[in-house]
Structure 1
Amino acid sequence: MNRRHCFLAILTFATLAQGHAEDVTMPSRGLCAHRGAMSTHPENTVPAFLEAVRLGAHMIEFDVQLTKDGALVLMHDGTVDRTTDGKGKVSDLTLAEIKALDAGAKMDARFAGTRIPTFEEALAVFPNNVWLNCHLKGGAALGEATAKVIAKTGRKHQAFLAATADAAKAARAVVPDILICNMERQNESIAYARETIAMKAQFIQLLGKGEVPLDAVKLLHAAGVRVNYYHDETPEGLRRQWNAGVNFPLVNDLAKAISVAHEFGIKPLVPQP
């Protein structure tokens, strides 16, 4: 996708996102595009998100951090070294310094010039009916700042914070009805499930290699908690997860996983205004 098409797509989805949240039907299960369509596009960038939307992702996961001057940007690692042409910790760089980096060329020359998006720039490209899995790479200050942006941009119906307890508490202090995915993982799955239910989180993200704790999933579903799972995107692993009641497996290669989703009657998501 060239820059002109990318810009037009951003405008299109920004317009779609202006729809009324009460009219939006959110997916009950499907595929979560981990860091966007990261197998073919630069992770945590607008091109990766637009490709995930094009392919029909039901949920899109990305990572949020604070810069030195308090801006919210998308980056998985603590440093910019792996994915950009720069070096240094995100927390030691200003937004201007972050924006000067090339976040695409290391993936492929055709993505040269791709920039690290701010949180608001990323939100602007998403349709109104895809779940937004905002993985917070930080504590209370990040939780508060991210929740405020979600509320300001009218995304509370679809964006949730995958956060530790301190970040979740701070987020709820400023936006009480913010959606939370409990990332305070426990070694024992039932304990993790019970803690998630007790904190009134709306999502949980189980961690494993395809084996799903059935008792925990039943407990979570009874309490209305949606279950994400990381990470086994083999066809066999995806089948085990959906058969066990997982709502959203996280996948790196969305295109390959879609064929397995079809076996379960899960169709690519159509953007909804």
Structure 2
Amino acid sequence: MRNPLSVTFHLLLSMLVLGCGASTSTSEDLLVSNHYLTFDEVADTRAFFTWNTDWRPMVSAHRGGSYPGYPENAIETFDYVLQHTPALIECDISMTKDSVLVMMHDNTVDRTTSGTGKVGDLTLEKLRSFHLDDASGKSTAFNVPTLREVLEWAKGKAVLTLDIKSNVPYELVLDEIGETASKPHVVLITYSLAAAKKLYSMDPELMLSVTLRNEKEWDRFVETGIPSENIIAFTGVAERSAAFNEKLHQHGVCVILGTLGNLDQRAAARGDQLYKEFVNKGADILATDRPIEAANIIREQP
């Protein structure tokens, strides 16, 4: 039996699906107006990410977002983003020398902290002695969080999409998810169908992000036997056709477009209205380095 989500999390999901709504709406208003989201009906991410015609676009904060004074993969940054908009929080799992799962994108800490060295060569105690740097290299008072801390923080606040780095055994991640009862608000990112099949075999209730950029990749996915209700389709970092996005929708699959990188740069240069064009062509979630800016535009969708 699936564990029900907390009331607070349902309020957040309602806000997400409605594109955050008008600022004058109350939580109760949002729940009443969203006929398919109730306290009892949404028990996990598989239910939440089943696409239907009532879907409203949302953003996923790449590496949790990164703004001046707020470094990537930091709980304080996650909070900062959520103060401005509901968002999925994408973050990266690495492992220390003493086998503690922590949030870090790179193999080394050189770019993102005041320290140096490979993550896998550092103990958690040593890693905690470093301060996180923001994107400009400015040091902050924030430290590297553990996966467990992030899982506990997310309850009632956000859905996490977790990017598992190659040095991290899946078993350890699933243990942490299980011990913190976090499955209802977690999506695991995969980069190959083999990885998706392995995770599905380990727990068929997991929600997975699977890269599906064209018809051939969709056909190969179907051959895996993984139910479409278990996946979100990451369609890459280039726009896909409206027809392909619609095909995914016909199977109840939500579409994540990675605007991080080139598409974000285009939007910053040409105007944030570009984000609307992406969702008008069928992108349901924008995985972006500019979550606040993108959300401000797409929440204006009718």
TM-score (normalizing by structure 2): 0.71
- CA shift at 1:116, angstroms? 0.4
In 1, the alpha carbon distance for the partners of 2:63 and 2:179 equals 23
| Aligned residue identity for 1:237 | L
- CA shift at 1:172, angstroms? 3.5
Distance 1:21 1:117, change over 3 A: farther
Q: 2:204 aligns with which of 152, 176, 183?
A: 176
Q: 1:37 aligns with which of 36, 44, 65?
A: 65
Stretch moving more, 43-52 or 99-108: 99-108
- The yes-or-no answer on 1:252 pairing with 2:289 is yes
The residue number in structure 2 matching 1:53 is 82
In 2, the alpha carbon distance for the partners of 1:72 and 1:216 equals 37
In 1, the alpha carbon distance for the partners of 2:180 and 2:41 equals 16
The residue number in structure 2 matching 1:102 is 131
- CA shift at 1:169, angstroms? 4.1
Unpaired segments ≥5 residues, structure 1 = 1-13, 266-273
Within-5 A mapping of 1:98-137: 98-104=127-133, 112-128=140-156, 130-137=158-165
In 2, the alpha carbon distance for the partners of 1:248 and 1:58 equals 9
State which structure, 1 or 2, has the greater radius of gyration over its C-alpha atoms.
2
| Aligned residue identity for 1:179 | M
In 1, the alpha carbon distance for the partners of 2:7 and 2:121 equals 34
Instruction: Tell me, yes or no, if the aligned pair for 1:105 and 1:113 is still in contact at 8 Å.
Output: no
Instruction: Tell me, yes or no, if the aligned pair for 1:17 and 1:126 is still in contact at 8 Å.
Output: no
- CA shift at 1:73, angstroms? 0.6
CA deviations over 1:29-60 (Å, ceiling 9, x no partner) = 31111112313311000111111221223311
Within-5 A mapping of 1:128-167: 128=156, 130-138=158-166, 141-164=168-191, 165-167=193-195
Within-5 A mapping of 1:21-36: 22=40, 24=42, 26=48, 28=55, 29-36=57-64
Instruction: Tell me, yes or no, if the aligned pair for 1:148 and 1:175 is still in contact at 8 Å.
Output: no
In 1, the alpha carbon distance for the partners of 2:105 and 2:39 equals 29
3-state SS of the aligned residue for 1:125? helix
Q: 1:215 aligns with which of 243, 263, 273?
A: 243
The residue number in structure 2 matching 1:268 is none
- CA shift at 1:77, angstroms? 1.1
Cα RMSD (Å) = 3.0
3-state SS of the aligned residue for 2:66? coil
The residue number in structure 2 matching 1:189 is 214
Distance 1:146 1:167, change over 3 A: farther
Stretch moving more, 127-136 or 93-102: 127-136
- CA shift at 1:189, angstroms? 1.7
3-state SS of the aligned residue for 1:138? coil
Unpaired segments ≥5 residues, structure 2 = 1-5, 12-37, 50-54
Give the paired residue count: 246
Instruction: Tell me, yes or no, if the aligned pair for 1:84 and 1:106 is still in contact at 8 Å.
Output: no
In 2, the alpha carbon distance for the partners of 1:21 and 1:73 equals 32
Distance 1:249 1:163, change over 3 A: same
3-state SS of the aligned residue for 2:280? helix
In 1, the alpha carbon distance for the partners of 2:158 and 2:76 equals 16
Instruction: Tell me, yes or no, if the aligned pair for 2:109 and 2:118 is still in contact at 8 Å.
Output: yes
Distance 1:17 1:218, change over 3 A: closer
Instruction: Tell me, yes or no, if the aligned pair for 1:160 and 1:180 is still in contact at 8 Å.
Output: yes
- CA shift at 1:223, angstroms? 2.1
- CA shift at 1:182, angstroms? 1.5
Distance 1:248 1:56, change over 3 A: same
TM-score (normalizing by structure 1): 0.78
